[in-house]
Amino acid sequence: MTKKQVSIVFLLVSTVFSVLVMVALIILFTVIIMLLFKEVGTVILPMGFILAMFLGCLISQKAMNFAIKKFNLEEKMDPLFGGKNKRSRLD
């Protein structure tokens, strides 16, 4: 596999992981909110949804950074965006 293909596969796997983490947190927070706050659960539910999305992004970002460092993926991946002929900002 080329570096570009490895980068695309890593991007797809990390996206699926991120979505799965967010869905799991949304379900978990919904159940917790409905069990603890039965009367006002529907009012608090949007805040739980936003918190689950934020925590899902944070967890997946930390997990991806850990995987990149742990398996030394920096040298095996190529940047997907941006050309190889980067000009200096001073030009």
- The structure's pTM equals 0.79
Question: Cα(42)–Cα(67) distance, rounded to whole angstroms?
Answer: 37
Give the confidence band of 83 by pLDDT, cuts at 50, 70, 90.
low
Interior CA angle at 56 toward 51 and 58, to 5°? 95
pLDDT tens-digit profile of 2-58?
888 988 999 999 999 999 999 999 999 999 999 998 888 889 999 999 999 999 999
Contact predicate 73/67, CB 8 Å: yes
pLDDT of residue 38: 85
pLDDT of residue 77: 86
Give the confidence band of 81 by pLDDT, cuts at 50, 70, 90.
confident
